[in-house]
Amino acid sequence: MLLAVDIGNSNVVLGIFQGEELLTSWRFETDRGRMADEWWALLTTLAAGDGIDLRAIEGAVIASGVPQLATTFQDLITQRLGREPIQVSAALDLGIRVRTDNPLEVGADRLANAVAAHHRGPGAWVVVDFGTATTLDVVSPEGDYLGGAIAPGVLIALEALTARAARLHAVDLAMPERAIGRNTRQAIQSGTVLGYLGLIEGLLARVAAELGETPNVIATGGLAGLFIGHSPAIPAYDPNLTLTGLRLIYEHLTRGE
């Protein structure tokens, strides 16, 4: 079995693979102060509940945007599982080429998403990841990671708006029924949620124009469910895309696949 760890600024997601099958996954709120033993206690409890024997884990791979927790999980996996995890970065042979000005500054989760998308089928791909940040990552048909776009996440934008505007209060993050809000709550939802949908659609149109072709598009991330089904520009959704990319990277590095 393989342990895949995706450490983001808002959530830590762990997945257990048996071959290509994702047996189970667990999502935690990112807590930079939680020690390795505390993570281990959570992991063993959830594994026992799902019938997972952690002693059967043969390898581990980590994508981290939080350096402190990357070290924590490195220590946890080394000491508790007796395995040396792979820390994903552009310095490794990922099976795709990173064609940016500074490959080492590209986030490991974005690289994993790009690998997973490229393996889904031929043609150019764009991954839209709705997380703490909203990111677009572009992969050419030849398997070149070309770069992308980073915008503040929709939840961050909403929180910033309501925190800095005295007469605007917090509202539920939900897709509104119409663009013309008839009260403050509806207006905030329209401007935030539909506004972000327009941002994504506009960026996708510009990416297609720069590529000279219409790319395949897939969404992932904890907030993607809010947008799926509301725009033909985002036809596909895979909540486990990053974990799948981590598995593919691990297999490429250890088995030459």
Domain membership of residue 190 (yes or no) is yes
Position 167 scores a pLDDT of 57
Q: Which residues pair with 137 in a beta bridge?
A: 127, 148
Write down the catalytic residue from 31, 50, 109, 172: 109
pLDDT digits (tens, 9 = 90+) for 59-81: 999 999 898 899 999 999 999 99
Domain membership of residue 55 (yes or no) is yes
Length of the chain: 257
Residue 144 and residue 53 share a domain = no
pLDDT digits (tens, 9 = 90+) for 12-63: 999 999 999 999 999 998 988 889 999 999 999 999 999 999 999 999 999 9
Residues 6+ apart with CB under 8 A from 63: 5, 6, 7, 88, 107, 108, 109, 111, 112, 242, 245, 246
Domain membership of residue 252 (yes or no) is no
- In the structure encoding, which two tokens stand for residue 52, read together? 């997972």
- List the single range of 71-85, 162-176, 191-205, 243-257 with lowest mean pLDDT: 162-176
- List the single range of 99-103, 162-166, 176-180 with lowest mean pLDDT: 162-166
Here the CATH number for the domain that contains residue 184 is 3.30.420.40
Residue 138 CA to residue 3 CA, distance in Å, equals 26
Number of structural domains the chain divides into: 2
- List the single range of 12-21, 121-130, 136-145, 160-169 with lowest mean pLDDT: 160-169
Residue 230 and residue 146 share a domain = yes
Residue 214 CA to residue 123 CA, distance in Å, equals 9
Position 203 scores a pLDDT of 97
User: Is residue 256 very low, low, confident or very high in pLDDT (cuts 50, 70, 90)?
Assistant: low
Domain membership of residue 73 (yes or no) is yes
Residue 129 and residue 75 share a domain = no
Mean pLDDT of all residues in 122-130 = 96
Residue 48 and residue 129 share a domain = no
Residue 170 CA to residue 52 CA, distance in Å, equals 40
Mean pLDDT for the chain? 92
Residue 241 and residue 125 share a domain = yes
Position 174 scores a pLDDT of 85
109 is annotated as an active-site residue? yes
Rg (C-alpha) for the chain, rounded Å, is 19
Residue 86 CA to residue 249 CA, distance in Å, equals 9
Residue 197's domain comprises: 121-245
Domain membership of residue 164 (yes or no) is yes
Beta-strand relationship, 133-139 and 144-152: antiparallel
